[in-house]
Amino acid sequence: MRSVIEQDVLERVLGTALRAGGDFAEVYAEDKSSTSAGLDDGKVEQVTSGRDRGAGIRVVRGETTGFAYTADLSESGLRAAAEAAGAVAAQGGGGTRTVGLTRQAPHPVNTVEVYPDTVSKSAKVALLQRIDDAARSTGAAIGQVSAGYGDSRKRIIVANSDGLLAEDEQVRHLLRISVVANGDAGMQTGFESLGHTIGFEVFDANDVEELARRAAQQAITKLRARPAPSGSIPVVIKAGSGGVLFHEACGHGLEADLVGKNASVYAGKVGQQVASPLVTLVDDGTMAGEWGAIGIDDEGHPSQYNELIKDGVLTDYMWDHLRARKEGHAHSGNGRRQSYMHLPMVRMTNTYVLNGTETPEDIIRNTPNGVYVAKLGGGSVNTASGDFVFGMTEAYLIENGEITEPLREGNLIGNGPQVLRDIEALGNDFAMGNPGTCGKDGQGVPVGDGQPTLRVKTMTIGGTAA
């Protein structure tokens, strides 16, 4: 694999970045090729090819960061960006600084068998046709199907004035399936997705037709759904469908940048009991093949398995370079960015709760009345207050310990610290959930989540039924 930028060029560009002063300089460059295809209304609408290539350069002096990016990867283009970034952080001083880089050993986490650029576009489009056929043949009520395919191959290189030089390659494949079913009382929707940080072989290991039928069945089932209840109710969340709960309810609050500004309900709580003793939460960038898995983070540090909460006790936060340097803490491989056009910050990778001991059947049976959430949609959290919200896209009523009728969509809300304490049953059936895109400060990065079946004592269901 040829580097996006040669080592001697990187060394000279870092020297240029620090010429006007500064404590730290970094070059991040990426070269990304992507293909996407969309099918809608029975037609392959278009195949898109994309190429994104560029570098972002930052210079840090004290508490100030200067950042500039460029799509011009020639030495002169990089030096111009380095000067722009350095000018901001400059204040007197300066002089010549020589940077010698040491190439880090590769840290491969994901193995790729079939690179997307070796697969014909017709094979990619054929997946969409199979999805369309499978979804439409699920039932006469299916009115519309849309499906999206995307692949990307991204090579990154990171070099900094501490002498670090690291490279990684990230190959991702994603499918999204949306289905509309028509009924007497209007339309309902179903959605499924599949995303992994591996090659095209992902479609050998996963049955895309089955995925399409699940999305279609979800929409059909909801045609007979009744309005969701309103008020505080026990909630059972199916394995692999509620990891986003932890991502929102506490994951963001454990990011060291928010903690450092005292903008998190978890600030100052290391060593304290913050969750039910059943809960052990980790963030794991090394979980091979998962959507949030990375070899190195976007600051060049190897990804890690980081325990955040153990048996309910807060053990540590997640860290990037700046926050780790400021606090004298080790970085944790959580410095990520959307692209070369963005500054890195503390971000999650794959965030999940480890298995408990109960069977999912027992958890449901021991819930006299409540709501069973089989699929959660997107969510968001206010990290300072801990209040969060997310959508239930597939949910059922639990009556007398049994799953009964399907419910229409609604929001589920709660307060993060409260919900963590209120987890009263944890299953032994761990599963990862759908691929997600986590948004923070205007940047989106791929993340994964997972959890076993669990029950929360009560959460507020935002339905309309009394």
> Footprint of another protein on residues 381-410 (CB under 8 A)?
382, 384-385, 387, 389-391, 408-410
* 294-333 residues near another protein, rule: CB under 8 A: none
Residue 194's DSSP bridge partners are 175
For residue 434, how many other CB atoms are within 10 A of its CB?
A: 20
Residue 255's DSSP bridge partners are 318
Would you say 118 or 122 has its CB closer to another protein?
122
Interface residue with another protein among 21, 163, 377, 401 (CB under 8 A) is 377
* 344-363 residues near another protein, rule: CB under 8 A: none
Task: Output DSSP code: residue 70.
Answer: E
- DSSP reduced 3-state for 361: helix
Shortest approach of another protein to residue 227 CB, angstroms? 8
Would you say 21 or 143 has its CB closer to another protein?
143
Here's the x/- map for another protein, 98-117, by CB under 8 A: it reads as --------------------
Closest CA to 129 of 45, 221, 217, 216: 45
**Could you please report the per-residue DSSP string of 173-219?**
EEEEEEEEEEETTEEEEEEEEEEESS-TTHHHHS-HHHHHHHHHHHH
Q: Which residues of 297-333 are buried (b: 16+ CB within 10 A; e: fewer)?
A: bbbbbbbbebebbbebbbbbbbbbbbbbeeeeeebbb
* 36-65 residues near another protein, rule: CB under 8 A: 37, 40-54, 62-65
Would you say 228 or 279 has its CB closer to another protein?
228
Task: Output DSSP code: residue 460.
Answer: E
Would you say 117 or 399 has its CB closer to another protein?
117
Would you say 7 or 411 has its CB closer to another protein?
411
Shortest approach of another protein to residue 440 CB, angstroms? 13
Stretch that binds another protein, among 109-117, 166-174, 200-208, 262-270 (CB under 8 A): 262-270
Is residue 341 within the footprint of another protein (CB under 8 A)?
yes
Shortest approach of another protein to residue 250 CB, angstroms? 15
Q: Tokens 């929409």 belong to which residue?
A: 219
Closest CA to 426 of 245, 305, 232: 245
Would you say 232 or 359 has its CB closer to another protein?
232
Stretch that binds another protein, among 209-217, 351-359, 372-380, 425-433 (CB under 8 A): 372-380
Is residue 140 within the footprint of another protein (CB under 8 A)?
no
- The amino acid at residue 33 is S
Would you say 112 or 228 has its CB closer to another protein?
228
Report yes or no: 311 and 303 within 8 Å, Cβ to Cβ.
Answer: no
Here's the x/- map for another protein, 195-234, by CB under 8 A: it reads as ---------------------------x-----x-xxx--
Is residue 144 within the footprint of another protein (CB under 8 A)?
yes
- The amino acid at residue 8 is D
Report yes or no: 267 and 330 within 8 Å, Cβ to Cβ.
Answer: no
Report yes or no: 179 and 394 within 8 Å, Cβ to Cβ.
Answer: no
Is 272 exposed, middle or buried, given 0-12, 13-18 or 19+ CB atoms closer than 10 A? exposed
Would you say 132 or 358 has its CB closer to another protein?
132
Shortest approach of another protein to residue 155 CB, angstroms? 15
Interface residue with another protein among 415, 434, 443, 451 (CB under 8 A) is 415
Measured distance CA(371)–CA(390) in Å, rounded:
15
* 426-455 residues near another protein, rule: CB under 8 A: none
* 263-282 residues near another protein, rule: CB under 8 A: 263, 265
Count of residues touching another protein (by CB under 8 A):
76
Here's the x/- map for another protein, 63-92, by CB under 8 A: it reads as xxxxxxxxxx-----------xx--x----
Name the phi and psi angles at 4, rounded to 5: -65, -35
Would you say 102 or 385 has its CB closer to another protein?
385
Shortest approach of another protein to residue 105 CB, angstroms? 31
- The amino acid at residue 69 is Y
Report yes or no: 329 and 315 within 8 Å, Cβ to Cβ.
Answer: no
Report yes or no: 331 and 320 within 8 Å, Cβ to Cβ.
Answer: yes
Shortest approach of another protein to residue 39 CB, angstroms? 8
Is residue 131 within the footprint of another protein (CB under 8 A)?
no
